[in-house]
Amino acid sequence: LSPLLLTWDLGRPLRFLNMLRVFKYQSPMSVGSWIVSGFGACAVPGLGLAEWHWHNLATGHAMPAVQIAAYIFIAGSGLTGVFLAIYTGALLAVTAVPAWNLHRVLLPFHFGIAGLGSAGALLEVIGFRQPGLNAVGFFAAAAQVLVLASLEWRKHGAADRALHEGLSGWVLRSAEVLEGPLALGLRAAGLIFPAAICFLVGALASRFGWLMAGRASACDPDAVLASQQGTPRLAESKLPYLLRPAIASSGSLKKG
């Protein structure tokens, strides 16, 4: 469905086709168009061939060639799916919106982990109870605990106060608690279904929280000014990019 939604967002199908004429690695939109197209081209036939194979296997008419083709497409959809899961976070991070750009290292990781945990949680909600899914749920919830700790520890004052104050701050913080500490605690207690529901609700709410925070940050003159000025003390650090990538200047990188 992703290519259809992207085409709808662009307004005209011809615009999407024009973006596939070339591959520009410097352009997030160009890279994203190829990621979406590659995932759709692998996921749809992979699902169809897998269903066909299992149906024929039950009736005793399985074909090895169909099974091999299904594995190839499934592997391709898994590989491109990794990039698709983190792409939204990367696309938000490369904008000039202060609250997003200041956390451009965190956003792709956060969105990717949320996508991974949501996929496992959705399977658990519809009835699957494999140990592997439980392990994925533990990993995703623990990673979101680290994301919550990072957001609380690495504050940038006025530049990203929309992440910590107001309605957007409450929505984002509540979402992180749902998909992090609460989901992890419920899963440790053996309550798989409530943990999966908490993670799904938290992952969805976090998307709206980040969007709300970005809009509030972009409309806040103090946030825009603070993100442009930066903090000289941190910019002079020996590891400026790792500490504060958004305010590290080229001069401080040479000094480090």
Average model confidence (pLDDT) for the chain?
A: 79
Torsion of CA 240, 220, 206, 231, to 10 degrees: 10
Identity of residue 46: G
Please indicate whether residue 162 or residue 59 has the higher confidence score (pLDDT): 162
- 109-132 tens-digit pLDDT: 999 999 999 999 999 999 888 888
User: Are the beta carbons of 179 and 199 closer than 8 angstroms?
Assistant: yes
The model carries a pTM of 0.72
The pLDDT of residue 3 is 67
**How far is the C-alpha of 163 from the C-alpha of 92, rounded, in Å?**
14
- Cα distances (angstroms) measured from residue 121 to each of 21, 90, 116, 127, 193: 37, 23, 9, 10, 8
**pLDDT of 163 above 70:** yes
User: Are the beta carbons of 39 and 45 closer than 8 angstroms?
Assistant: no
Please indicate whether residue 250 or residue 28 has the higher confidence score (pLDDT): 28
Q: What are residue 231's phi and psi, to 5 degrees? A: -125, 110
**How far is the C-alpha of 112 from the C-alpha of 199, rounded, in Å?**
14
- 51-81 tens-digit pLDDT: 887 777 666 666 777 788 888 888 888 888 8
